[in-house]
Amino acid sequence: MLVGSIVLVVLLLAGGWYYWQSTSEQEETNQPLIATVEIGDIENTITAAGSLQPFEFVDVGAQVNGILETLHVEIGDVVEQGQLLAEIDARIQQARVDASRASIEALEAQIEARRAALDLAKANAQRQERLMAADATSQLDYDNAITNLASAQASLVQLEKQILQSRASLESDETQLEFSRIYAPRSGTVVSIEMNEGRTINANQQAPTILRIADLDTMTVETEISEADIGSIRKGMPVYFTTLGGGERRWYSELRQILPTPVIENNVVLYTGLFDVDNNDSSLLSDMTAQVYFVTSAARNVLTVPVGALTFSDQSGGPFSGNAGPGNMTDEMRQRMRERMAAGGGFPGSAGGARNTAPANPGMPRQATVRVISEDGSEQVREITVGVTSRVAAEVVSGLKQGDKVVAGILQTQNVGADQNGRFRPRPGMF
């Protein structure tokens, strides 16, 4: 009986010790998560995939038939406008030019004979006119002389027109001969070559492309925007992108255009957005993959507080609903609003500095409350105004200053504790 009483007392003491240890452990682990108000950047973005293409390029083709004899450039070569790029076998074109020139020379040789015949016809017509006036010739001879004069004049004009036609044909043949030598229509970089030396070119139906010249100093990003995000994208909004090989580097620009006709892939509607970026250092190349970020709202170098520390007064939207409106505020609007707060004017839709539960303009900042830790360790609920809000942090417009401590959550752990170094520490009796 005595032994049983002793065992019971020991069990009661062990249970009390375990309960006290568990309670103290819970008290140790359930500590508030303290965060510091700091200067930082806040940004809300919509991501999309894109690819890089030259802003300006030209496809250089052939306008004559023949064998591509010589290519004077390679991919990657930088060429100047007017530089010789390629040569096509021009024997047929050269033969046509020679034939046209010979035809013109033959016609020009006949022109003197036609002019002499015209002079003779004029002399005969004048003589018949004098004889006709003296009634010394017949009407038939006079008429024949006039007819011969008109025929000689028409024959000379016809020959002159034939010479003009032959010269125009010669110019066409000479142009075709020039087309056998292909020159750069603009300065740029050879980014692709479609045909190799020795290939036969047939330009009867369409001009075949031999190579492409592009200006790589400016690149265009073609990005695919999903149907769900297109409503938040607008022309002129800031955008930046990264590349697979660019590391942490970002290229910044503004959205230039959204093509109205979508591309449908596997029943997914995608709209194409275009924006341009300088490429003076030639770090961007054609067909590179780009990870694009459309900045829907942002605040730079502002006071920030974790979203977990906020309790929003505006119940119509939680901490994540600030992505659309507040980011549209300009620095001038923020400064004007701060001056109004300093004068005690409050916000639109509120009386004085009173709490505003539903801002009339969703583009204006919202009010929230935070638990501030004083220097003596006590807590104080304070009402603040926040601007741009992301999923992680919010811009502090008023109510806090840099270095303030706020409660951002509660550190809770069940069944498992941790020592001061963060290592795993089982509770007593856990196993």
Cα–Cα distance, 252 to 67 (Å, whole number): 46
pLDDT digits (tens, 9 = 90+) for 23-82: 555 545 567 888 899 999 988 999 999 999 999 889 898 888 888 888 999 988 899 999
pLDDT digits (tens, 9 = 90+) for 236-255: 999 999 999 888 899 999 99
Question: C-alpha dihedral over 87, 93, 98, 99, to 10 degrees?
Answer: 180
pLDDT digits (tens, 9 = 90+) for 340-381: 444 433 333 333 333 333 333 333 678 899 999 888 888 889
On whether the CB atoms of residues 321 and 388 are closer than 8 A, the answer is no
3-state secondary structure of 198: coil
With b for 16 or more beta-carbon neighbours within 10 A and e for fewer, the 223-246 pattern comes to bbbeeeebeebeeebbbbbbbeee
| pTM higher than 0.75 | no
On whether the CB atoms of residues 208 and 59 are closer than 8 A, the answer is no
pLDDT digits (tens, 9 = 90+) for 256-304: 999 999 998 888 899 999 999 999 888 998 889 999 999 988 888 999 9
Cα–Cα distance, 367 to 364 (Å, whole number): 10
